[in-house]
Structure 1
């Protein structure tokens, strides 16, 4: 069968995005009947039939019941443009209401959201002038649907500014110890390096359950991601790669192969 002869029900269903069952139903109730049939008895839809289907879909999307759609399409006195203009106005009102509802939900989410619940000014004062308060929002957009983010929100909800100052001080102490160990030539896999790796994993576990395999995945990022590597190398040259190696060696000591470790 060629396009000029017409389209079968299966082809039309694919083109317009409705089911074959729906087209059969529309045929049965007289809403859209194919103009012809093949010698074998198969329904064949013309270009005009397909155009009518599209008009049905528009009205159905606007909320009209099928019976009313049929009357609108078959009544020569019907002013379709007037109906559509009225529906457009109703849709505009509905969109406005939904936008107000979405804004209200967003405010509710913000009021109940965990994570850093201190002002942007307090964040900069606690975490330093290099801190960008927008990082928390960016992190939520990237990982907000993960189990680890849910753990982070639960574990940090309700932390006060003093709590975050303590967290920041502990983080700075760990970074200073990592930089000093790198400068002293501490070998990855040594007892001292493994202890630092565990301190690092313990710090992460304040926010989510960080396994050795997860820490390995983060270690890879520390050495390859420009943001992470510049941060750690800014503490002391080469720290990002050294920290990765320390994490890898400690993970191996706990039975994790760094080459095959994945985020769990």
Structure 2
């Protein structure tokens, strides 16, 4: 006897709508249905759902997950080992960021002094946690080009790009109380535009402006960017729009 969709939703902690969506896109189709048309999930279906959620936790888009788990070469045991490895790596990075936050709190209270380098320990811009949303907004090619460009970079090149990124963010954070149309702000935003295109993909002016809009429309982006300085996301968004419009 299988498990009904509502029972699976309650068991896992996801919505019935999500499970219906997985079925509609061919990601997880229940093994059977009742005579009344209710979906029935088997133990194997639940194992498949667990794999899907592990991949989602690591930032994989649903389309990519479907490709992986439907491949004849897919091996559940190997996948579990990889999930474990990557999640440990993710935990390690989060631990470093938490340690940086703790130091920053002490620094803010005047209890310790932090170097500029220490302020950014744990941050890693080589991976994009919003890959799925980027694919939905800008299409597969833009993100694939970005990933291809990043994967072709050497460790030294990635470190250099990361250092330049931090320097640009730091500069913009210092300028965020000035006008986003100022010469200094626009020069820094041009550096940001050039850095993205030289290291992380192909961004035309409209895509660049759309990215800036996302900085304020998506609270995840806003929260992350504002770690560098409250109001930075809004400032960058406005500066990016001005930069784009000035080039038309």
Which TM-score bucket, shorter chain as reference? 0.3 to 0.5
What is the TM-score when the length of structure 2 is the normalising length?
Answer: 0.48
TM-score by length of structure 1 reads 0.45
State which structure, 1 or 2, has the greater radius of gyration over its C-alpha atoms. Answer: 1
